[in-house]
Amino acid sequence: MNTGQNFRRCRFLCSAFFVLLLSCCIVTVQHAAAKTDDQTPRTSQEVNSALDTLLAAVTDKTIPLTAENLEPLLELVVGKNATPDSLPQPSKNEAGSGIFLRDTINVPLTTFLEYCYDPAISPAALFPASVRLGHWKPGSDIFAAAPLWKQAENLNDMHILRGTEYEEITPDHFSGCYYGYDLHRLLILMPWNGKRVFISVSRQAGPSGVGLKGAIVGDDSDWEYVYTGVEGGTARAIGWMDTYMYDSASVTFFFDDETASRTRYAMFKWLKAGWAGLNVVKKSHIQSGTERFLKGFKAVIESPRLPPAGEIATYAEKLKMQPEEEQIASLARYSARLEEISAEDSILKRDDFQQVLRNGGYGASLTAEQRAGVLVKQYIKHQIGKSPLAGLEQHTQPEG
C-alpha cells in the first residue's frame, strides 16, 4: 500500500472515529436535554396541526388558509393571553428540532413591511449579521402584488403571496462555514381580532450547497466577514468535512403592538445541518443564531438615522447598474484594509483566505452581486452612524 493510500485510509478511520465519538456525545447531550425539556411546556396538538398546515401550504396552493383553521396558533401567538413568558416548545418535525421565541421591534408594522418586503432592497442591508446576500427569484408573487405596507394600511381581507428566495448566510461562529440555498416562502397578511397580522412561512427547497470557508473579521457586532468560496470550515476538527444545511423551516409572526407604534415578533424555527447525513444541530444553536439575526436587524430597522426605504432601494439599484471595474474600485480601500488586518488574524493568515486577500484582491474575487452586498452594507453602516471597517472613511458611492 503506497503512502497516499495509507494517508487516505488513516484519514477515513479518523473521520469515522470522530463521527462516532461525536454521535455518542450528541446522544448524551440530548438525553440530558430531554430531562430538562420535560419541564418545558409543549405546543398543543391543535397548534402543531396549524403549524403543519402552514408549512405544507408553502408550496401547495390547494390547502385552504383561513383564520378559522389557524385559530389555535393565532390564539397562542397573538391572543390576549400571549405574554413574553409563554414560550412553549414546538414538536420536532422533518426539518429538525425547533424553538419558539418572542420579541418586540420598535417600529410600526407598516414601516417593517416597507423596508423588509421591497424586492429592490437587498437583505444584506437589513440583516447584516446573518445574511450575506439574497434575492427573490423571477415568478415570485411579490413582484406583481401591490406593496405589502400599502395593503396593510386599510386591511380588511387576507392577502396571500408565494415565491422563492435565494439566500446566502454569514459565516457560522463555530465552524466558519457559510451556505447558500433556496427558500420557498408563503406570506400572509390578515386582520385578526382588531390587529393586523403578517405571517412569513419558509421552507428550504432542498439541501444547501456544501459549506464554504468564511471568517468573522474582528467582533461579530461589526458585521464584517470574508468569504473564500473554498469548501470546508475553519474549525480544525471539521475543516475538511463536507457540511450541509439539510433542511430548515420557520413560521414567523409580526403583528401590531397595543400602541401600534411597535411590532410584536414571534418565531417558530427548525433546522437540520451537519455532515455525512448526521444532524448535529441543537436547540441552543438555533436560539443563538436567531438572536444574532435579531440583534443585527433591530440595530438597523430601529435606528433613527435609517434612510427612507426608497433611498436604500435607489442606492441598491445604482449598484446593480455599476460597471464591474467601478465596483472593484469602490472596494479598493476596503480590500486593502482587509489584507492589512489579515496579517494579525490567525484565521485570515491561512492560505485559503490569503488567496482572495493578497495584493488587495478581495473585491475582484467576488461576483457583482457579492460586491453589491458588501457596498450596501457599508452604506447602511455609515448611514446609521456605525463605524466602517477599522481605518476606513466612508466608501466611495456610485455616482448619479
Q: Tens digits of per-residue pLDDT, 142-156?
A: 999 999 999 999 999
Lowest mean pLDDT among 17-26, 190-199, 388-397: 17-26
Predicted pLDDT at 84: 62
- How far apart are the C-alpha atoms of 115 and 54, rounded to whole Å? 24
Q: Measured on CA atoms in the order 283, 210, 241, 237, is the torsion positive or negative?
A: negative
Predicted pLDDT at 90: 83
Block residue for cell numbers 468564511: 214
| 35 vs 120, more confident | 120
Predicted pLDDT at 21: 32
Quick one: pLDDT band at residue 129, thresholds 50, 70, 90? very high
Contact 247, 95 (CB under 8 A): yes
Predicted pLDDT at 53: 96
Predicted pLDDT at 163: 98
Question: Does pLDDT of 141 surpass 70?
Answer: yes
Question: Does pLDDT of 7 surpass 60?
Answer: no
Average pLDDT, the chain: 87
Evaluate whether the domain defined by 42-302 bears CATH number 3.40.50.10320: no
The grid cell for 153 is 394600511
Quick one: pLDDT band at residue 83, thresholds 50, 70, 90? low
Angle, CA 263 vertex, CA 260 and CA 268 arms, to 5°: 145
Nearest CA to 126 out of 396, 398, 376, 324 is that of: 376
The grid cell for 328 is 472593484
Question: Does pLDDT of 109 surpass 80?
Answer: yes
Question: Does pLDDT of 351 surpass 60?
Answer: yes
- pTM for this predicted structure: 0.87
pLDDT in tens, 165-175: 999 999 998 89
**Residue ranges in 58-208 assigned as alpha helix (H):** 71-77, 109-116, 123-126, 148-153
The domains of the chain are located at 1-39, 42-302, 318-383
C-alpha dihedral, 176 to 182 to 188 to 189, nearest 10°? 60
Give me the residues paired with residue 191 across strands.
196
Give me the residues paired with residue 213 across strands.
177
Lowest mean pLDDT among 42-51, 164-173, 194-203, 375-384: 42-51
pLDDT in tens, 283-322: 999 999 999 999 999 999 999 999 999 999 999 999 999 9
Helical (H) or strand (E) element with 42: none
- How far apart are the C-alpha atoms of 49 and 45, rounded to whole Å? 6
The SS3 assignment for 14 reads helix
The grid cell for 352 is 485559503
% of the chain residues with pLDDT over 90: 74
| 88 vs 398, more confident | 88
Predicted pLDDT at 392: 53
% of the chain residues with pLDDT over 70: 85
Contact 375, 356 (CB under 8 A): no
